[in-house]
Structure 1
Amino acid sequence: MTLQPQFYKDRVCLNVLANSVENAQDCYEAAKENIVLGVLSKNYETDEAAITDMKRYQAATNNALSVGLGAGDPNQSTMVTRLVGTLQPQHVNQVFTGVGASRQALGQTETFINGLVSPTGRVGFVNIATGPLSSRSTQAVVPIETAIALLKDMGGSSIKFFPMKGLACKAEYKAVAKACADNDFSLEPTGGIDLDNFEEILQIALDAGVKKVIPHIYSSIIDQTTGDTRPSDVARLFEIVQRLVTA
């Protein structure tokens, strides 16, 4: 079972939500396997139900499973840790304070684990108080370089910068991308990304020199009638990835 996500030209891997195993397969094929498929822990009543179902996604996509929280819900942090220790997926979404526990549960260094940090309105600074208790209190604002160092200490793989609201915090995002590049860390831009702003958001990360980028594109490409992520939109996103990475 492959534990590393597949990155196009070793640079970009898409992250989208999967509404069913069939939807996951269709999106996996649309991105020519350069993708991880998000399945949210919040959608399951028990660990057993989540593990049983998520194993079906793993079997259908060569383990391109991204275990999600559910809109960054910090209260899902411990459930995610319990799940990933058993599942051994390619990708794990975590709040900042949950990264160390998830890495320990995995027992290996290959699976990608992101650590969620939030914009602050100050360029070069992020909020790391994204855990179950810390998110209820005042912000813990630190330089982005400090957040990266702490995540490395905990066994994290990447910064999940959320919620970006598209390009609403463009200057902050550029600073995060530069810090990731300078400190050999991966980046996962998340929140409000759509077919219109995706190219600029990805280009910023690539221009900064970020080695590995995992953009999250969620609600904007979901069919509101079926709940499925549209494979045709995934194909369009992957065309943009191919063009920018090979430019």
Structure 2
Amino acid sequence: MGINYYNDRVCLNVLGGSLENARDIYEAAEHHVEVGVLTADYPDVPSAVEDMKKYMDVLEGNLSVGLGGGNPNQWRAVAEVAKEVKANHFNQAFCAVSATRANVGNDECHINAMVGPSGIPGMVKVSTGPLSKDAKAPALVPADTLIMIVKEMGGNSLKFFPMGGLKVKDELQAVAEACARQDFILEPTGGIDLENFKEIMGIILGAGVQKVIPHVYSSIIDKATGQTRIEDVKTLLAMVKELV
């Protein structure tokens, strides 16, 4: 079973605070969601694999294997999990997309490539790995060329992170236009909340991007429980239905 896009265009990505929370999210989103579980939350790969297999059952495969706050130091953990857990969705640093595709052993599982804003519309930062993220001279690549490289690496989408909500509107517009030209999936991530969700999605869909996986994380998590608020998931789905 592949990613279940609403109206073949939008699939939500939110974090599951527990197995029960994940199950509730899945139902509230009417299955149009990939529920994130972070490798950073586990002491080692075997414990992550054991727990994630439980999520796979509850979510019918609609698990999003995450890094953890976009931490590229988790790239190896995600790639190792891919050997055992054939989740629908994997989050990965740009540098490790090919390793993850090789480890997952199929062409069906979705793997994104985490790339970042550069400060220059049309150019995207690809130096998002454990070492390169701190490079004095970041590696910037034209968005269209970047998408071709990610395709060659076996990736399915650009995870554009961190956006800071609407702080990089011009860059988001340029990346979205490139994804539309290249028929590529875009995953906007970072600072998205119930207030700016529609505007961000409007920019992307308006640019002609055919498939979008918006990540809405901390803004809809109950700070006291660590669980994603189910009512907020329902609100997001309602907005998606209005948009597409």
Same fold (TM over 0.5): yes
Q: Residue by residue, what CA displacement relative to the aligned partner does 1:24-50 show, whole Å, maximum 9, x if unpaired?
A: 011111110000000000011111100
Cα distance between partner residues in 2 of 1:85 and 1:185 = 25
The answer on 1:8 being equivalent to 2:6 is yes
Cα distance between partner residues in 1 of 2:159 and 2:148 = 14
Partner residue, 1:112 = 110
Q: Secondary structure at the match of 2:92?
A: strand
Cα distance between partner residues in 2 of 1:78 and 1:46 = 11
The answer on 1:209 being equivalent to 2:208 is yes
Partner residue, 2:159 = 160
Q: Structure 1 unaligned runs (5+)?
A: none
Letter in 2 for 1:218: Y
Letter in 2 for 1:66: S
Letter in 1 for 2:223: Q
The answer on 1:182 being equivalent to 2:190 is no
Partner residue, 1:135 = 133
Letter in 2 for 1:188: E
Q: Residue by residue, what CA displacement relative to the aligned partner does 1:81-128 show, whole Å, maximum 9, x if unpaired?
A: 000121000000001011011011111111111101110110100110
Percent identity, aligned pairs only, is 51
Return the match for 2:49 from 48, 51, 59: 51
Cα distance between partner residues in 1 of 2:169 and 2:83 = 35
The answer on 1:25 being equivalent to 2:23 is yes
Number of aligned residue pairs? 243
Q: Secondary structure at the match of 1:5?
A: coil
Q: Residue by residue, what CA displacement relative to the aligned partner does 1:60-82 show, whole Å, maximum 9, x if unpaired?
A: 11011000001111110011000
Q: Structure 2 unaligned runs (5+)?
A: none
Report the CA distance between 1:219 and its aligned residue: 0.3
Cα distance between partner residues in 2 of 1:21 and 1:242 = 26
- Give TM-score, length-normalised by structure 1: 0.97
Partner residue, 2:33 = 35
The answer on 1:200 being equivalent to 2:199 is yes
- Give TM-score, length-normalised by structure 2: 0.98
Q: Secondary structure at the match of 1:173?
A: helix
Cα distance between partner residues in 2 of 1:115 and 1:232 = 30
Letter in 2 for 1:186: I
Report the CA distance between 1:53 and its aligned residue: 0.5
Report the CA distance between 1:148 and its aligned residue: 0.6
Cα distance between partner residues in 1 of 2:159 and 2:104 = 19
State the 4+ residue runs in structure 1 displaced beyond 2 angstroms.
Answer: none
